[in-house]
């Protein structure tokens, strides 16, 4: 009985900690509540997040602010067309040894940190973008046959400009799938624009307080995995993923017409984990249908590859995921 009470207290504390972190960020960042929620769900799910939006919307400031609130080490990588993979991962350099002989020593790149901001990731070439794959999947870096373990916890929070902007390269599909979710950062409202101006052009600059530490982040990641998922909801999540495939008999009509490839197993894993984390920070011990629906769009929008007809007709993955969610709601009811 005492163990149950202790576990319940852990869940209650976790929800309170999340609210404290979110409130601290909201005191510093104007608007973008949904974006803050989704980034925090990604971090406490142990996943990487891709933020897409026009330049100047505060994506970099948000990531830097989160690292300060969570007291995690922060490294920023500015992606440019001439950036090389070794500029990110690190490299072996020759240096004098104790006996005077030259020997190779590993020089760590900016990947060796807790939160890595891959700023404007789609302005680098696909070769450089792909250098993140091992780090994102295995949390290791291999240079000249030597494998190095990255810091724990480790998150890549990448920002990208819309793909039709000048000087951008599309991310490889394999790398896109490594992101637990893709978050759209929208333009602020008129009231938010005014508040941004008031906060950033005066003498008084708001300061961020450290709310959690490294150990707290790791503990919350582990606690989120303990959230329960009923068999019915697990089946619903599986049906959602299956419905994104045009060859599936249960796929909505527009999926069959406009989608070339749907989500794979990693999409299901990401959907379940994000739903668990949202449930934990809502103060619940189990996943609800609402958790699945609220996390499905950011989790799946970058995992649907449209065919030519879909792109020509201006269909967005979000539109198609809404069709899947509407069908899932009918199936549950």
- Paired tokens of 51: 């933020």
- Paired tokens of 17: 């900690």
Query: Picking from 20-29, 178-187, 193-202, 238-247, which range would have the lowest pLDDT averaged per residue?
Result: 193-202
φ, ψ (nearest 5 deg) of residue 170: -65, 140
Residue 4 clears pLDDT 70, i.e. is over it: no
> What's the chain's average pLDDT?
83
DSSP secondary structure letters along 305-317 = EE-HHHHHTT--H
Q: Which CATH superfamily is domain 227-333 in?
A: Magnesium chelatase subunit I, C-Terminal domain (1.10.8.80)
Residue 333 clears pLDDT 50, i.e. is over it: no
Task: Say if residues 328 and 303 touch (Cβ distance below 8 Å).
Answer: no
pLDDT value of residue 241 = 92
User: Cα separation of 75 and 124, whole Å?
Assistant: 17
φ, ψ (nearest 5 deg) of residue 268: -65, -45
Partnered with residue 14 across adjacent β-strands are none
- Paired tokens of 36: 């803050």
Per residue in 89-133, pLDDT (tens digit) is 877 777 776 776 777 777 777 888 888 888 888 888 877 777 788
Residue 271 clears pLDDT 90, i.e. is over it: yes
Instruction: Give the highest mean pLDDT range of 27-36, 128-137, 254-263, 268-277.
Output: 268-277
Q: Is 140 helix (H, G, I), strand (E, B) or coil?
A: strand
- Within the chain, strands assigned E span 48-52, 74-78, 90-96, 102-108, 115-119, 140-143, 146-149, 155-160, 179-184, 259-261, 305-306
Q: What pTM, to 2 d.p., does this model score? A: 0.85
For the chain, give every domain's residue range: 1-226, 227-333
> Which whole-number Å values give the CA distances from 200 to 29, 250, 276, in the listed order?
11, 51, 36
pLDDT above 70 coverage of the chain, percent: 91
Per residue in 140-189, pLDDT (tens digit) is 887 777 788 888 888 888 888 776 555 677 777 777 888 999 998 888 78
User: What's the topology of domain 1-226?
Assistant: Rossmann fold (3.40.50)
Mean pLDDT of 73-79: 87
Residue 45 clears pLDDT 70, i.e. is over it: yes
φ, ψ (nearest 5 deg) of residue 96: -65, 135
Per residue in 48-63, pLDDT (tens digit) is 999 888 777 778 888 8
Mean pLDDT of 205-212: 79
332: pLDDT confidence band, cut at 50, 70 and 90? very low
Partnered with residue 147 across adjacent β-strands are 142
Burial classification of residue 5, based on how many CB atoms lie within 10 Å of its CB (0-12 exposed, 13-18 middle, 19 or more buried): exposed
User: Cα separation of 163 and 311, whole Å?
Assistant: 13
> In sequence order, which residues have a C-beta less than 8 Å from that of residue 174 and are 6 or more positions away?
130, 133
């Amino acid at each position: 009985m005492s163990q149950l009470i202790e576990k319940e207290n852990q869940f209650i504390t976790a929800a309170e900690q999340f609210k404290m972190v979110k409130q601290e960020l909201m005191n510093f960042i104007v608007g973008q509540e949904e974006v803050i929620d989704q980034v925090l769900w990604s971090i406490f799910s142990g996943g990487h997040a891709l933020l897409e939006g026009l330049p100047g919307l505060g994506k970099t400031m948000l990531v830097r602010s989160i690292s300060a609130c969570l007291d995690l080490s922060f490294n920023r990588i500015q992606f440019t067309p001439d950036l090389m993979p070794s500029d990110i991962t690190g490299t072996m350099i020759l240096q004098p040894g104790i006996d005077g002989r030259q020997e190779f020593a590993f020089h760590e790149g900016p990947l060796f940190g807790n939160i890595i901001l891959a700023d404007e990731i789609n302005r680098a070439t696909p070769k450089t973008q792909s250098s993140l794959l091992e780090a994102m999947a295995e949390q290791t870096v291999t240079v000249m046959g030597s494998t190095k373990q990255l810091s724990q916890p480790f998150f890549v929070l990448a920002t990208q400009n819309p793909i039709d902007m000048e000087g951008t390269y599309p991310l490889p599909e394999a790398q896109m799938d490594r992101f637990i979710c893709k978050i759209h950062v929208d333009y602020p409202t008129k009231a938010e624009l005014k508040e941004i101006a008031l906060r950033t052009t005066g003498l008084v600059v708001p300061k961020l307080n450290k709310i959690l530490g490294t150990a707290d982040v790791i503990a919350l990641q582990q606690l989120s995995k303990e959230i329960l998922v009923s068999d019915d909801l697990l089946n619903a999540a599986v049906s959602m993923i299956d419905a994104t495939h045009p060859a599936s008999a249960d796929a909505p009509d527009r999926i069959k017409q406009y989608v070339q490839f749907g989500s794979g197993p990693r999409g299901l894993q990401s959907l379940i984990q994000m739903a668990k984390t949202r449930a934990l920070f809502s103060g619940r011990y189990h996943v609800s249908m609402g958790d699945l629906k609220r996390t499905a769009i950011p989790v799946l929008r970058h995992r649907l590859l449209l065919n030519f007809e879909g792109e020509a007709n201006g269909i967005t993955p979000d539109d198609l995921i809404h069709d899947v969610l509407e069908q899932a709601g009918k199936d549950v009811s």
